[in-house]
Structures are given as C-alpha cells and as structure tokens.
Amino acid sequence: MNTQLDRLERRLGYTFSDSDLMQLALTHRSFAGRNNERLEFLGDAILNFVVGEELFKRFPQAKEGQLSRLRARLVKGATLAVLGKQFDLGEFLRLGSGELKSGGFRRESILADAVEALIGAIYLDTGMEPARERVLAWLEPFFADLTLVDTHKDPKTRLQEFLQSRGVELPKYTVTDEQGEPHCRVFFVECQVALLEQVTRGEGNSRRIAEQQAAAAALAALGVDDAQA
C-alpha cells in the first residue's frame, strides 16, 4: 500500500509527513471506521478561501458578483472531479463493498469530496502555505482559462432577472419524476413561465441541474440571449 501511496503523492506533487492523514482523506464514509467527511469540510473552506484570494489578486477590476461566479466555477464538484480523475484517485479510495460494486470509485461526487479532503489533510500536515501552493498548482490550468467576459449568470438567475425586468411573475419549477437508484437518481423538471404557452423541461442527476436545464430551455424559447438577460 505504501508503494501505491508514494505513486499518488508524486501525482499530487506533495509528500505527507503523516501518512495516516492521507489514508483518512481517501476513506469514504461507506468504509468501516473513521472517514474523510471532516477533512472534506476543512478542505472546502480552505479551497474557497484560496481561490477567492487568488481571484481577488488576478482580477482587480472585477465586481463582487463576477468574482463569486468565477469562484463557483473553480470550486464546483465537476472541476474537482476532473482533478480527481487526473490523479486517478479512484484506484486509491477506500470504499465499502456496496460502493465498490456500484462503481463508487468513478463517481464524480466521491472524487470531488476526496480532493477536498486531501486539501484539508495537507493543511493539517504542514500548514496553510503548502495547502495554498498545491491548490493553486492544481487549478492553474483552470485559472488560465478564466476571463471576465464569460462570467454569465446561470440560466435560472438570468430567467428570473429577465422576467422581473418586465414585471412578469417568477417561473415555477416542478419535479415531475425521479428515476434510478438512490445513489444515481435522475430528476425530471418542468418550468412554467407566464410568457410561454408551453412548459419547458430539463433533466439531470440533481434537482438543481434539471431546473437549470429547464430554465435554459425557457430562455431559448423566449429568444433571450446573454446580452439581453
């Protein structure tokens, strides 16, 4: 196992002084005993601070809303899951038998949580500066792609603001169906807008994603582009 962890440390660009912290960061709650949830909580706080601080430095002319949207893009689960896949974290995770059988080592939410837990573990291992350095190094390719031009608001926010600007009541979202196993649910949502005769629909592995898709469909039906919203 030590050889395996050495391999992961090379991928992370960090060597742990306390290997137990690393093991804990890789331990999912489905595994017997202690798990990485507390480290995940800590890592999430550190990640948000480090990314916020870096954006504040890189974009001195950005407004608060722009900075918030840029940060949300960098700290979201999908971005962290990409990092987890780059590190091949799945092969190092300690999962319960049920999660193993259901492919938990590939699940984006589990990979993203483990990345946050590793950040928390690095902080406890050697302090804030090494944690900051690793976060910035891991996210540098994502930082490099950011501009203030493309910090568009999400579809739900844009739809709400569009309707409010025209004195129209806010959209109504309704979950019409849920399918799949508890660990991989698919939600189906309808969006009802007073300006449209037909409802619009969306689906996704969370209610939020499904609502965003339905809102995006409503914007398209209304002929609203980014400049108008």
Residues annotated as part of the active site: 44, 116
In whole angstroms, give the CA distance from residue 159 to residue 150. Answer: 17
Contact 87, 8 (CB under 8 A): yes
Q: Which two tokens stand for residue 194?
A: 């007073």
Say which DSSP state 224 is in: -
Strand-pairing partners, residue 103, are none
Residues near 101 by Cβ (< 8 Å), separated by ≥ 6?
A: none
CB 130, CB 14: distance < 8 Å:
yes
Asked if residues 61 and 145 have their Cβ atoms less than 8 Å apart, the reply is: no
Half-sphere exposure (Cβ direction) of 180: Cα atoms closer than 13 Å = 13
**How many angstroms separate the Cα of 163 from the Cα of each of 8, 160, 180?**
50, 5, 34
